[in-house]
Each structure stands twice: as structure tokens, then as C-alpha cells.
Amino acid sequence: MAVIVPVILVTATLYPVFRAHLDARLDGAISTADALLQGGHRTLQKDINASINHLLATAEMPLLKRYLDGVGVAQSPPLEAATQLTKAQVRALFDTLLPHYARYAQLSLTDLDGRALLSVGHAGLPPAGQDANAVLLHEARLLAPRDVYLSSPRRRLPYESGPSVGRPVMDIATPVYDTQGHRKGILRFTLDWQTLATHLQQTMALDAASYPLLVDARGTWLLDETQGPLPFGGHFASHSPETWKALLPRHHGKTDLDERLVMFQTYDARIHHYQSQAGMVTSEPGLQPWRLGIVLTKPSLATLLHEEKTLLFILLLLYLLSIAFGVYWAISHHRQHALRRQAQQLSHEAHQYALDVRDLYENAPCGYHSLDADGRVVKMNRTELAWLGYSAEEVIEKRNYRNFVTPETRQAFETAFQAVLGPEREGAAECELLTRSGETLPVVIQATAYITRHGYVNTRAMVFDLSERKQMEEALARQAMTDPLTGLGNRRYLHDQAAREMARARRSGAPLSLIAIDLDHFKRINDEYGHDAGDLVLQAFARTAQGLLREGDVLCRMGGEEFVAMLPDTPLDQAIQVAERLRQALENAPVEVGQEGIDKHLLRYTASLGVTSVDMDEPSLKPAIKRADSGLYEAKAQGRNRVVWM
């Protein structure tokens, strides 16, 4: 009994402690893994978007368009020589781009039938056109300008011999056009997938017991065996069917697998390309979205003791002491000695707890600081010092905190600080902090007064970084002002810009004109050719109109086929000339509609336009819009395809 009872008591005492410690370690690992997962998602999205932007930027290069002018066209000897010179320049450009964009294995240009025009790649790669990737060629030929096709990551085909055999690659392609806007070929960048996967692994590296996960929608493993349990191309759905079954119905979350925990979220290149310059991204059917995740090994008592040899020693020592204590208690000789050891152990735990609290304060995910009654910094944690770019020696007891607040938000800080000093003893404010590098950091500060029985001591404040929230608010504001089909401003954007331009015109006395535009017989276009053709007409109109208008002019879509152009610093007679040029340009700019190779033809369309001047005595733009609409209706009544001013 003297041995068994102390062992049971120590076990019952230590089990909750170890359980709590393991739970804390698991929570910490989950928090870290979640941050790494978000970072990996951003890295994957950034790398794919960067590759798309590289491809589109190269496709828009004037030198490439000039070379395509001569492709497939019979030329005189002088023009043929010029074309060959341009081809040599394009090849030199590709030779420069390939080492500059180190992530690519090959840059290639083919005609619409897949025949190689230009190909630049690392040693051992076949020239473009020899792989006869029929799916890529077919899909790329159907793309609109600035649209992109992504293949799935794959290993090289058997006939692609060379020193890099078996290294995964991924193709991205887009159609290219000559200077006249004629589709002439397909530009393809072959991405070294191993480079991207290694970058992703480095971003998501947690510890040796964890590994990243990346599979496509069919359950194919997209990393290699050094980064997980399967080689590239392995069938994860068969290897881990329970995990795969848990991943399928959700876009993000956690899956508990006894000894392991999987945290994941989806990535779809067809959706998450809004930070790229692509109009639309397409891919092979059934392969998107990808599942990106981290597989964590749950900490256990065995692994904890294996990692912490000292802890194992202490645990064994505790059991020995407990047995000794039981024996001493039984024979009533060393009771006091055992109590002293227990007190020492409690003291050690208390000291360790104090160190943990200090570490939590210094390295918390938010900022902490304390100020005296004058606003001077008396304490600040490492997180906030890192945000500001200063050391503790430069700030504590030497700097006034209000000097870190930008002048524009200093009043809000002062109001909150005075509230802390006042009877309420607490305050909060949204401010911007000025860092050492000159950048501003949006934060929210929540503070309370620390008071003892002797009176006020200092403030205790928490500081939270609002950068991501501010960026999201700005992105939502931009989306609320933009028409998604044409990329033009919407009705709300027009009235917002009108308020500014009318105020500027009142101050300067400069004229301001307005053009109302309505596409003729647009309902008939939708009825006869379908809404897809109607969308192409609207997009073509937007491109044509933007090409004719000045940089400071405002072109917005009011709804349907109705548009408004606001022309600052433009009198009525010049606005009429602009409207007439726009009318003629639309009349002579047919739109290519129909599917590629099937009923493909040019659709001509016209527009009716109403022009008016904006009266600066009017409170808003609405009267001018009404007058311009009257002119537009008059143009419709006179037979359409004309300009009428009011």
C-alpha cells in the first residue's frame, strides 16, 4: 500500500497536467498550421497568378505582334527578310526571358495547327509542337483575348528525353494576335512544377512529423515523395480513402484521423485569379479545385517523453519520490523531507509559469504597451516594437506614444487617452501608426487604467493590426463601383465621379459635357445570336469607346445596353465631335461572334447618342442625364445611328 497508493496519487495528479499540456501543444500546432496553410494558399495563388501575368505580358509585347503579322502570309523577299529579323529578335527576347523567369522550363510559340514557330527551353527538351498536346491546342484556340488555359501538373511524356526526365511540369497557354488583331497562334509557358512545389513546401514547413498536402479534384497527389507519403501522380484517394472522403464535400476545415489531423482548404485557379491580368482562366474538366492542406501528427505522451528526455527523467523521479514518500510516511521517519521536496517542485512550476506568462506577453499576436499619465511609454512588447521598427532601448522611458500616431488620427488617440485618465478608466480608438520606415499601420487601440489603492499607475493597452481588414474594405469598395461584364464603372461610380468633377468645374469654370449612348437593336442581337453574343458586343463597345476617349474621361455602364460618357474640360461642340467619332468607329468595328470554326461571322452594330452640357447651377448630374437621354430618344426616333444634342 505504501508503494501503490503514492503511484496512483501521482498518476492522478499528473495526468490532467500532461493532458492539458498536450492539448495546449495541439492548439498551438493547429494555430501555426492554420497560419502556414493560409500562407501556402497565398503562395500558390501568387505563383500561379504571377505565371499568368508573365504569359499575358509576353503575349501583348509589340515585337511579338509584329512577328505574327508575317506568319501565314505570302511576302515579298524584303518583307520576308524583315520577318526573319523580327523572328530572331523574338527568339532573343525568349532567350532573355527564360533565365529571368527561372520557374519556366520552356517558352514556345506555335501556329493555330500546333506547328512550332519558336521554342526556347532547357537542354534536353523537345521543340514546341512535337508533344502534340491536342487538348491544350484545342482549348487554347477557343480562348478570347487575355484568357488563359492551364493544364494539370504532369510528368514529361516518354519521348521527352533529356536530363530532366520525370520532372513534373504544367503548361499555361493563351492565344496571340498580330497588330491587326487577327488570331495567329498560341503562346505557351511550360512551368517547372517542382520549383513551385518546393516553394510551397518551404512556405508550409512545420516540423518533421507534419507534411503538406496538395491533390487535384480526382485525388491525384501533386507533390513528390520528399513532401509526403506518395510520389508525384500517386492516387491519394486510394492511399487514404477516409481522408479523401472527408475532404470532398467541403471547401475548408479540419479532419480528425485518430493520430493525425488534416487541415485543408480548396484552391481553384479558375476562380482565384482575380489578382492576375487574365480575363478568364480555364482548365481540364474535373481537375479543379485542388485541395491544399497540412497533415499534423497529434502530440502524445509517448512522443512528448521521447522529445523531452529531461521530462522523462523528472517523471521517473516524481514516481520514485512518491514511492519514497509512501515508504517514509509508512515508517513515519522522513515526512518533513518529502514535504520540502514538494514545496520546491511547486516553486519551480510557479517560476516556470511566470516565464510562460512573460513569453506570452512579449510574443503575443497583438501589441501591448503601458503609458504613464503624460503618455510616455513605460512598457511595450516585442510584437509592437517589431511593427514600429524600433528596439526597446529606443522607446521605453524615452518616447511619447503620441509621436508614433499620424497627425490625421492623433485627435482620436488623444480623446481615447483622456477617457482612460478620466472617471471611465477605459477608452478605444482607431489610429494609424507611423513606423520607422515611414509606412503607416492601421490599428485599433483598446486601453484601461491600472490603478492600485495608492492611485493611478499607468495605462494597459492592446493594439490590433487592421491592415488586412482595410485592404478587404478597399477591395469591396472597388467591386461595388465596377460593372463585372465590361470592367467599366457602374451607375454608382458615375455619380461619385460626377460630384467631384462638378465641384472642380464650379471652382475652375471649365466646361463639362455628357454623352448618353444606347446600342441600336440590342434586343434583336440577343434574340437572334444569343446572350453570349450580346455580351461580346457590350465588351467590344467598351474597348472601342475607351480607345477613343481621353484618360480623364469617365465611361460608365448604366445598365443593359445603356452607357454614359462624362467629358471634363470639354465644351458642347467638342463633345458633339467626340460623339460623332464614336458613332463612326462603332459602325465600322464589327464584332466576331459564334464558336471558333462553327458559324463564325462578323456582327455589325450601331449606336444612338445624345449630347448635352452640364449646367453648374444644377445640384447633381441627373438633369443633364435626362437631357442627354432626350437627345438619345430623338436620335432613335430619327432612324438611329446618329448624334443629337440638347
State residue 158's pLDDT score: 43
State residue 636's pLDDT score: 94
By CB atoms closer than 10 A (0-12, 13-18, 19+), residue 600 is exposed
CATH of segment(s) 48-299: 3.30.450.20
Q: What is the DSSP string of 82-134?
A: HHHHHHHHHHHHHHHHHHHSTTEEEEEEEETTS-EEEEEE-TTPPPTTSS--H
In this predicted model, what pLDDT tens digit does every residue of 315-362 receive, in sequence order? 778 778 877 777 877 776 677 777 788 878 877 777 778 677 777 778
Domain with CATH 3.30.70.270 in the chain: 481-645
- If pLDDT is split at 50, 70 and 90, which confidence band does 159 have? very low
Q: What's the pTM value of the predicted model, to 2 decimals?
A: 0.47
Cis geometry, peptide bond prior to residue 289 (ω within 30 degrees of 0) = yes
Q: Are strands 512-519 and 562-568 parallel, antiparallel or unpaired?
A: antiparallel
Chain centre distance of CA 230: 29
- If pLDDT is split at 50, 70 and 90, which confidence band does 130 have? very low
- pLDDT over 70 (residue 492): yes
- pLDDT over 60 (residue 157): no
Give me the chain's average pLDDT, please: 84
Residue 252 forms beta bridges with which residues? 265
What is the pLDDT averaged over residues 50-60? Answer: 90
- If pLDDT is split at 50, 70 and 90, which confidence band does 188 have? very high
- If pLDDT is split at 50, 70 and 90, which confidence band does 165 have? low
State residue 164's pLDDT score: 43
In this predicted model, what pLDDT tens digit does every residue of 210-233 receive, in sequence order? 889 899 989 898 887 776 788 888
Q: What is the DSSP string of 241-284?
A: HHHHHHHTT-SEEEEEETTEEEEEEEE-TTTS-TTSS-S-EEE-
Q: Which CATH architecture has domain 367-470?
A: 2-Layer Sandwich (3.30)
Where on the phi/psi map is residue 142: left (φ > 0), alpha (ψ -120 to 50), or beta?
Answer: alpha
In this predicted model, what pLDDT tens digit does every residue of 618-646 receive, in sequence order? 889 999 999 999 999 999 999 999 999 98
State residue 156's pLDDT score: 60
- pLDDT over 50 (residue 280): yes
Q: What is the dihedral of CA 122, 123, 126, 127, to 10 degrees?
A: 60
Q: How many CB atoms lie within 10 A of CB 116?
A: 14
Domain with CATH 3.30.450.20 in the chain: 48-299, 367-470
Dist CA 405 CA 411 (whole Å): 9
Least confident of 10-19, 499-508, 588-597: 10-19
Q: Does domain 481-645 have CATH number 3.30.70.270?
A: yes
Dist CA 460 CA 252 (whole Å): 37
State residue 134's pLDDT score: 72
3-state secondary structure 30-88: HHHHHHHHHHHHHHHHHHHHHHHHHHHHHHCCHHHHHHHHCCCCCCCHHHHHHHHHHHH
State residue 26's pLDDT score: 78
